[in-house]
């Protein structure tokens, strides 16, 4: 497996993973804005045999890193690819001066919460009705880097 920064050429595969991973997927245009226009954004892809199988992104704002999204193709889940991506992002955030990292996760997404806890994230609050597709709450989690 290889981890590298996301490039525009990755977007077809990223969009395919996005559509099977989220009820309200981001648009291609949203990713293009993140890659070209958002100086705070840092996105990475995981490749297996030159095929993008996962991706993750974060915004670096002062001394905080905010994970925007993490997705692994269903055929590659359970292989710790998401964990490796998150570890790479934690290291990158630390190198760039971040002291802590945060994310939101659906309260129903227990597998993701287990992963985040394993990586040292701790619950810190709730965002009521955060997810617009079903008004589900989001658990806010934080970790010191």
**Is 116 assigned a catalytic role?**
yes
Q: Please report which helix (H) or strand (E) contains residue 136, including its range.
A: strand 136-144
Two tokens, residue 140: 């806010």
**Is 104 assigned a catalytic role?**
yes
Number of Cβ within 10 Å of residue 113's Cβ equals 17
Of the residues 50, 104, 131, 132, only one is catalytic, namely 104
Helix residue ranges, H only, the chain: 11-21, 28-36, 81-95, 110-118
Of the residues 44, 116, 130, 131, only one is catalytic, namely 116
Phi/psi of residue 44, each to 5°? -135, 155
Q: Name the CA dihedral angle for 7, 8, 13, 16, rounded to a multiple of 10 degrees.
A: 130
Q: Which residues are catalytic?
A: 104, 116
């Amino acid at each position: 497996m290889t981890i590298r920064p996301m490039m525009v050429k990755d977007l077809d595969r990223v969009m395919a993973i996005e559509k099977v991973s989220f009820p309200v997927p981001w648009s291609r245009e949203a990713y293009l804005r993140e890659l070209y226009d958002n100086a705070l954004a840092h996105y990475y892809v995981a490749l297996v045999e030159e095929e993008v199988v996962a991706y993750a992104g974060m915004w670096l704002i002062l001394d905080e890193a905010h994970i925007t999204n993490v997705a692994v193709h269903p055929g590659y889940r359970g292989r710790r690819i998401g964990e490796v991506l998150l570890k790479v992002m934690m290291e990158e955030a630390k190198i760039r001066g971040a002291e802590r990292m945060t994310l939101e996760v659906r309260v129903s997404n227990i597998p993701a919460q287990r992963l985040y806890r394993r990586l040292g994230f701790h619950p810190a609050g709730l965002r009521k009705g955060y997810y617009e597709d079903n008004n589900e709450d989001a658990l806010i989690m934080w970790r010191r880097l």
